[in-house]
C-alpha cells in the first residue's frame, strides 16, 4: 500500500460522525460575510448599504491578483459594510446582511438533475472558477483560478485529488464522497480537462473502505480517473506528502507542486467545481462536520458561508457541554482554536470540533530527553528539537540554515513529544522571525 517516504504519526482516528448524513443547515436571521475567506487580499465590496441581494449575487469583487470573488449566500438587504472580528479574533472587512426569504439568482440551476456534459474549453473553465469564487477547500483556501492557470513554462502531468482526510474526527469529505460521488467525478473530469492531463488520481486513506468502494465503482464509468487507496498515516493529506505517496516525486524546498508536474485539489473543491461549472452555483455553501467525543449527537451539515459558530453549535447540540475545553475550526492536528464563537464560518471551514477539557489542556512541559521521537515523526526530515532550542535562544539564522522553512506545520513533532514541549509553537515563531530576517535582507 502506498504512503509517503518518511515520518508521520497515527493519531486516534475518532471518525465518529461518518454515519451522519449531510443535512441542510437552516437560514439565520442575519449574517456576516467576510471579504477575505481565501489566501491573499480581501475582495472589494461591490454592493452598498441598503441594496437588495439575491443568493449567489456577487458582493465582493476580486481586484488584487491573489484574491477570490465573494458571493452572497443569502437573499436580503445589505445592513452595513464594516469590519467584523472573525472566529480567531482578527478584524476583517465584512458585509452584514439581513436575511429575507431565500431568493436565488435565476442563472443558478437548482434542479437535482446531474449534468454530465461539459463543453467549455480549458481557458473558459478557469475563468468560470474565478467568476464563481472557487477556492481550495483543503484548508489553505488558495484561489482555484490561480492554481489552475498553469504558467506557460510549466507543465502539469498529474492531477491529484485529495480525499485522504487524514485528520482525526473530520468526515465532511467522507460524506461528500458517499452522497455525491458522481458529481465529484464530473468535477474531477472538468479539472482534468482544464489541465489537459491524462489521468487524475483520487487518494483515499484505507480507513474509509465505503467511500473507496463507492468512488471506485463511480470512477470506472469515467475516463482517466484512478482511485488510489493509501496506507493510514498522518499527514498523508499534506500536499507534498500526498504527491510523494502517489507519484513518488518530492517537491523541492521552496517550490510548488507544479514544479514537479503535479496539481493537488481537495475532493470538496472538485464538488464545488462541478456545481460552479455545471450548475452555475458560486461557492456559497460547504459541508461541515460538527463533532466531538462528548457531544450528544454528531452532524454533517451543508452550511451557508457566514453562519456563526454559535449558531452551528446551538442548532446541532444546544449548548456546549460544561467540560468543553476548546472549540476547533478544522481538525485537531492542524485546525485553529476558535476564540470568538460569534465569528462567521468561511468557505474553507471544514468542521467544528469540540474537545474536552482534559484533552484540550496541555500537560506540563518537562526537560527534553533527546529521545528523537520528534525527528522520527517529522515527515519533512527536520530536527524539531534543535529548532526548539535555537528559537528559544533567538539563534534564528542557524534555524534557517537547518531549513526551518521546510516545515509544513503538521504538528507530528509536538504530538509525539513525551516531554510535552510546544515544539510547533517554537518552530512557527522561528519561521516568522526567519522570514522577517529574509525580508530585511532583501531590502
Partner 1 sequence: MKLLNVSGSPHVHSDESTRKIMWRVNLALVPTLIVAVAFFGLNALLISIISVASCVLFQWLIEKFIMKSPSTICDGSAVVTGLLLAFNVPATREMMWLVIIGALVAIGIGKMSFGGLGKNPFNPALVGRVFMLISFPVQMTTWPKPGENLFSMVSVPTTDATTGATPLGLIKEQGVGAAGDVMQYFIGHMGGSLGEVSAVAILIGAIYLLCRKIISWHIPVSFIGTAFIFSGILWLCDKTAFVDPVTTILTGGIMLGACFMATDMVTSPMAKSGQLIFGVGCGLLTIIIRNWGQYPEGVSFAILLMNSVTPLINRWCKPKRFAN
Partner 2 sequence: MSEIWTAVLVLSIIGALFAAVLYIVAQKFKVVEDPLIDEIAEVLPGANCGGCGKAGCRAMAEAFVKQGNMEGLKCPAGGEEVAKKVAALLGCTPEESEPQVAVVRCNGSCSNAAAKTHYDGLQDCAFANSLYTGESGCAFGCLGLGNCVRACQFDALSIDPESGLPVVDEEKCVACGACTKACPRGIIELRNKGMKNRRVYVACRNKEKGADARKSCTAACIGCGKCQKSCPFGAITVENNLAYIDFNVCKMCRKCVAECPTGAIHAVNFPPKVERPAAPPEAAKSEPVATPAPEAAKSSEPTTPNA
Shorter beta-carbon distance to partner 2: residue 26 or 88: 88
Tell me which H or E stretch contains 244: helix 239-247
| d(C-alpha 317, C-alpha 222), whole Å | 40
Name the H helices within 296-366: 309-317, 357-360
The site string for partner 2 over 77-116 (x = CB under 8 A, - otherwise) reads: --------x--xxxx-------------------------
- Least CB distance from residue 91 to partner 2, whole Å? 7
Q: Does 428 bind partner 1 (CB under 8 A)?
A: yes
Instruction: Return the residue of 43, 200, 290, 338 that touches partner 1, per CB under 8 A.
Output: 338
CA distances from 288 to 54, 291, 324, 347, 377 (A): 23, 10, 20, 10, 29
Bin 196: left if φ > 0, else alpha if -120 < ψ < 50, else beta.
left
Q: Which does 49 bind (CB under 5 to 8 A by kind): partner 2, partner 1, none?
A: none
Q: Does 422 bind partner 1 (CB under 8 A)?
A: yes
Q: Which does 85 bind (CB under 5 to 8 A by kind): partner 2, partner 1, none?
A: partner 2
DSSP at 362: P
| d(C-alpha 280, C-alpha 133), whole Å | 11
Q: Which does 23 bind (CB under 5 to 8 A by kind): partner 1, partner 2, none?
A: none
> Comparing C-alpha atoms, which of 148, 111, 127, 124 is closest to residue 270?
148
Which one of 25-33, 55-63, 115-123, 332-340 is the stretch in contact with partner 2 (CB under 8 A)?
Answer: 332-340
**Placement of cell 456545481 in the chain:** 275
- Least CB distance from residue 322 to partner 2, whole Å? 15
Q: Does the bond joining 235 to the residue before it have cis omega, within 30 degrees of 0?
A: yes
How remote is the C-alpha of 432 from its chain's centroid?
A: 22
How many residues of this chain interact with partner 1, rule: CB under 8 A? Answer: 70
Instruction: Return the residue of 61, 216, 395, 428 that touches partner 2, per CB under 8 A.
Output: 428
Q: Does 206 bind partner 2 (CB under 8 A)?
A: no
- Least CB distance from residue 439 to partner 2, whole Å? 13
Contacts of 149 (CB under 8 A, 6+ apart): 126
Q: Does 339 bind partner 2 (CB under 8 A)?
A: yes
Strand partners, 324: 356
Edge-to-edge order in the sheet of strand 91-99: 30-34, 91-99, 76-85, 52-53
How many residues of this chain interact with partner 2, rule: CB under 8 A? Answer: 18
Contacts with partner 1, residue ranges (CB under 8 A) = 5-7, 9, 11-12, 168, 240, 244, 250-254, 320, 322, 324-328, 330, 332-339, 341, 355, 357, 359-363, 366-373, 375-376, 378-383, 385, 403, 406, 409, 411, 414-420, 422, 424-425, 428
Which residues of the chain form contacts with partner 2 (CB under 8 A)? 85, 88-91, 337, 339-340, 360-362, 422, 425-426, 428-429, 432-433
Amino acid at each position: 500500500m502506498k504512503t509517503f517516504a518518511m515520518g508521520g504519526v497515527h493519531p486516534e482516528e475518532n471518525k465518529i460522525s461518518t454515519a451522519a448524513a449531510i443535512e441542510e443547515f437552516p437560514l439565520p436571521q442575519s449574517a456576516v460575510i467576510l471579504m477575505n475567506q481565501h489566501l491573499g487580499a480581501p475582495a472589494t465590496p461591490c454592493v452598498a448599504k441598503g441594496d437588495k441581494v439575491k443568493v449567489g449575487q456577487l458582493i465582493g469583487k476580486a481586484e488584487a491578483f491573489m484574491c477570490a470573488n465573494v458571493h452572497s449566500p443569502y437573499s436580503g438587504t445589505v445592513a452595513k459594510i464594516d469590519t467584523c472580528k472573525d472566529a480567531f479574533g482578527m478584524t476583517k472587512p465584512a458585509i452584514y446582511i439581513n436575511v429575507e426569504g431565500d431568493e436565488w439568482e435565476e442563472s443558478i440551476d437548482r434542479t437535482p438533475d446531474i449534468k454530465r456534459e461539459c463543453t467549455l474549453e480549458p481557458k473558459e473553465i478557469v475563468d468560470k472558477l474565478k467568476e464563481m469564487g472557487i477556492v481550495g477547500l483543503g484548508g489553505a483556501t488558495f484561489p482555484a483560478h490561480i492554481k489552475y492557470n498553469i504558467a506557460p513554462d510549466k507543465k502539469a502531468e498529474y492531477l491529484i485529488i485529495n480525499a485522504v482526510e487524514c485528520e482525526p474526527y473530520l468526515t465532511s469529505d467522507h460524506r461528500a464522497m458517499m452522497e455525491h460521488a458522481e458529481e465529484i467525478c464530473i468535477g474531477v473530469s472538468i479539472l482534468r480537462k482544464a489541465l489537459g492531463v491524462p489521468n487524475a488520481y483520487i487518494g483515499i486513506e484505507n480507513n474509509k473502505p465505503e467511500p473507496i468502494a463507492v468512488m471506485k465503482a463511480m470512477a470506472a464509468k469515467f475516463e482517466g480517473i484512478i482511485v488510489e487507496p493509501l496506507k493510514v498515516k498522518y499527514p498523508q493529506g499534506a500536499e507534498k506528502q500526498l504527491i510523494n505517496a502517489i507519484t513518488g516525486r518530492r517537491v523541492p524546498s521552496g517550490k510548488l507542486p507544479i514544479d514537479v508536474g503535479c496539481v493537488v485539489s481537495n475532493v470538496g473543491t472538485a464538488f464545488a467545481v462541478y456545481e460552479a461549472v455545471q450548475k452555475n452555483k458560486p461557492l456559497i455553501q460547504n459541508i461541515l462536520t460538527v463533532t466531538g467525543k462528548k457531544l450528544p449527537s454528531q452532524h454533517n451539515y451543508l452550511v451557508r458561508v457566514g453562519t456563526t459558530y454559535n449558531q452551528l453549535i446551538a442548532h446541532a447540540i444546544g449548548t456546549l457541554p460544561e467540560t468543553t475545553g476548546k472549540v476547533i475550526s478544522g481538525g485537531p492536528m492542524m485546525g485553529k482554536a476558535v476564540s470568538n464563537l460569534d465569528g462567521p464560518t468561511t468557505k474553507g471551514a471544514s468542521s467544528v470540533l469540540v474537545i474536552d477539557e482534559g484533552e484540550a489542556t496541555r500537560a506540563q512541559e518537562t526537560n527534553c530527553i533527546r529521545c528523537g521521537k520528534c525527528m522520527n515523526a517529522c515527515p519533512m526530515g527536520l530536527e524539531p528539537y534543535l529548532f526548539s532550542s535555537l528559537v528559544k535562544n533567538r539563534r534564528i539564522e542557524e534555524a534557517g540554515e537547518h531549513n526551518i522553512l521546510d516545515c509544513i506545520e503538521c504538528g507530528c513533532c509536538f504530538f509525539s513529544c513525551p516531554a510535552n514541549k510546544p515544539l510547533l509553537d517554537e518552530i512557527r515563531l522561528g519561521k516568522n522571525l526567519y522570514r522577517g530576517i529574509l525580508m530585511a535582507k532583501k531590502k
